Structure 1
């Protein structure tokens, strides 16, 4: 009797596992989007209306968090903020931390212009820009 019960239980358990097909996603991939009503730093079209700004305006608090900005300078220290590559942009006197949402290749010493969203102050106590467009000059 036990010999007949084991195959029956095996078939029953396999049938129970064969329910709905779950769609598999690649582990580690997530879609990043901004909350409704806010500019999305991953969308280049959201920075089309960006205004050129200065390092001084960012460091002094003249620019509101969430504003679209354009800033030009020299890429210095290349780093990584976890999800995206990043670098420090400088005008020789002041520094801004740039999250490279565009994932554009940037080398230390490159003259770059970033179009992005001002995201407040980074952990390093410097202004943070999430850039969706980066032009390497």
Structure 2
């Protein structure tokens, strides 16, 4: 009887150790993108068709949500929106909130040119742009 208990216990131990989940295949990961017909703010090529606009065009309704935009200004305040680094950009009179999807290093006081997608208003009631291209002037 003792001879049967030891092999049985050994089999139970081996069975418990072999229940690891398999690693997903390389192609098994799914990519998240913009819905069909909308520009993807995480894709730099989405900003390629961006036209230079004024800060006021984002607040007065001239530019619609989802439109590509290009803006130049000064990074005033660095912040974080949870998923990406962010900053507030100013032209001296008006401010916009920039979600730094490009994850480009930006310091307060830098002159920057951004290309991205206008996302409407941020929580602070200032225009929000998800920037996939950020150029910092040296």
Distance in 2, Cα, partners of 1:108 & 1:32: 31
Distance in 2, Cα, partners of 1:13 & 1:76: 61
Task: Give deviations 1:41-87, integer Å, cap 9, x for gaps.
Answer: 11111111111111100011211100000011110000111111100
- Measure how far apart 1:31 and its partner are: 5.3
Rate the CA distance shift 1:136–1:32 in 2: closer, same or farther, 3 A: farther
TM-score, with length taken from structure 1: 0.84
Q: Are 2:84 and 1:122 aligned?
A: no
- Measure how far apart 1:23 and its partner are: 1.5
TM-score, with length taken from structure 2: 0.84
- Measure how far apart 1:33 and its partner are: 2.5
Report the equivalent of 2:91: 91
- Measure how far apart 1:4 and its partner are: 3.1
Q: Is the 8 A contact 1:68 1:117 kept in 2?
A: yes
Task: Give deviations 1:10-54, integer Å, cap 9, x for gaps.
Answer: 524633663675226xxxxx9552223211111111111111111
- In structure 1, stretches of 5+ residues that fail to align are 25-29
Q: Is the 8 A contact 1:32 1:42 kept in 2?
A: no
Alpha carbon RMSD of aligned pairs, Å?
Answer: 2.5
Report the equivalent of 1:62: 62
